[in-house]
């Protein structure tokens, strides 16, 4: 991973297609905001003898759990790229394997999420691909959040992130019983690594539109892909605002996916192609 003092280690660096890499925490945060369910990888130390007496016990094993994950600056006004002042929160369950690992001393995790922006079709089978944006967080210093107000705040951020807007302005912050029965884990960011493929069949370049269709080759090019939000089903005082909000999210998703296919600069990750700072 990386050294716990914050200096990048060899596992942080993107080694293949380095021009597709970004190491900006703000780029990672935007990806996690759009795709907040991450796969969290860690080593589980195996079942505790005292807690599983008489039962079949698991040995030490690698686990990979899908968990809601949010990135939060310690100072809500700090949007800088210095990830030393940022926390990562996992929304989990008291009896989850991740909680067991934290309680028994596991210290290093990764959290990864990916957004598919399009399908790339090639005239040859092995050159098919996907346009995507991915982000991996290299994490350390995990701990269970015990402070009631910190937990409430982090759960409010989870609600807003999953909803895609400041939902807590409408429904309020999480209530005490929900805060008390929910488990939240806080980690520090050691380093981040993001990756993006964009363009058509020739990666990084917009797809060729004109060509000879009679050459016997299969169709080549790209098909953009995005989340299209549907009609609301339910009731409440903010219905019209939600219609407008989610229509805009669909439009923005389409804009990003199409822009990615045509390798537009405004669809590329912040810091794309820059060298890793050491």
pLDDT in tens, 223-240: 999 999 999 999 999 999
| Helix residue ranges, H only, the chain | 25-34, 97-103, 148-163, 168-171, 176-181, 239-261
pLDDT of 71 over the 50 cut: yes
pLDDT in tens, 141-199: 999 999 999 999 999 999 999 998 999 999 999 999 999 999 999 999 988 999 999 98
pLDDT in tens, 85-119: 789 999 998 888 899 999 888 888 999 999 999 99
Report the candidate in 19, 8, 3, 12 with the shortest Cα–Cα distance to residue 273: 19
Per-residue confidence (pLDDT) for residue 86, from 0 to 100 = 86
Beta strands, E only, the chain: 21-22, 37-44, 61-73, 86-92, 109-121, 129-144, 183-197, 221-224
Rounded Cα gap, residues 57 and 6, in angstroms: 36
pLDDT of 241 over the 90 cut: yes
Half-sphere exposure of 77 (CA within 13 A, CB side): 0
**Between residues 184 and 53, which one has the greater pLDDT?**
184
Per-residue confidence (pLDDT) for residue 99, from 0 to 100 = 92
Burial class (CB in 10 A: 0-12, 13-18, 19+), 184: buried
Report the candidate in 98, 4, 96, 88 with the shortest Cα–Cα distance to residue 42: 98
Instruction: Return left, alpha or beta for 109; rule: phi > 0 is left, psi -120 to 50 is alpha, else beta.
Output: beta
Rounded Cα gap, residues 254 and 226, in angstroms: 6
Per-residue confidence (pLDDT) for residue 5, from 0 to 100 = 40
Q: Which architecture does CATH list for 18-267?
A: Roll (2.30)
Per-residue confidence (pLDDT) for residue 10, from 0 to 100 = 66
Half-sphere exposure of 238 (CA within 13 A, CB side): 11
């Amino acid at each position: 991973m990386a050294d716990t003092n914050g200096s990048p280690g060899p596992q942080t660096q993107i080694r293949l297609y380095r021009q597709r890499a970004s190491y900006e925490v703000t780029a990672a945060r935007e990806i996690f905001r759009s795709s907040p369910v991450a796969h969290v990888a860690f080593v589980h130390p195996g079942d505790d003898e005292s807690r599983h007496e008489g039962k079949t016990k698991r040995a030490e094993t690698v686990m990979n759990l899908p968990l809601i994950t949010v990135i939060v600056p310690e100072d809500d006004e700090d949007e800088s790229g210095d990830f030393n002042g940022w926390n990562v929160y996992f929304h989990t369950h008291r009896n989850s394997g991740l909680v067991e690992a934290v309680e028994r001393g596991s210290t290093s995790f990764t959290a990864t999420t990916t957004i598919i922006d399009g399908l790339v079709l090639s005239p040859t089978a092995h050159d098919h691909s996907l346009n995507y944006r991915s982000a991996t967080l290299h994490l350390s210093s995990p701990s269970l959040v015990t402070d009631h107000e910190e937990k409430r705040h982090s759960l409010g951020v989870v609600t807003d992130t999953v909803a895609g807007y400041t939902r807590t302005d409408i429904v309020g912050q999480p209530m005490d019983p929900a805060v008390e029965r929910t488990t939240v884990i806080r980690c520090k960011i050691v380093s981040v690594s993001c990756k993006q493929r964009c363009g058509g069949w020739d990666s990084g370049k917009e797809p060729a539109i004109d060509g000879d269709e009679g050459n016997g080759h299969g169709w080549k090019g790209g098909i953009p892909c995005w989340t299209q939000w549907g009609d609301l089903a339910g009731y409440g005082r903010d219905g019209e605002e939600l219609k407008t909000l989610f229509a805009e999210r669909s439009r923005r998703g389409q804009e990003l996916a199409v822009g990615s296919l045509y390798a537009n600069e405004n669809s590329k990750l912040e810091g794309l192609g820059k060298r890793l700072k050491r």
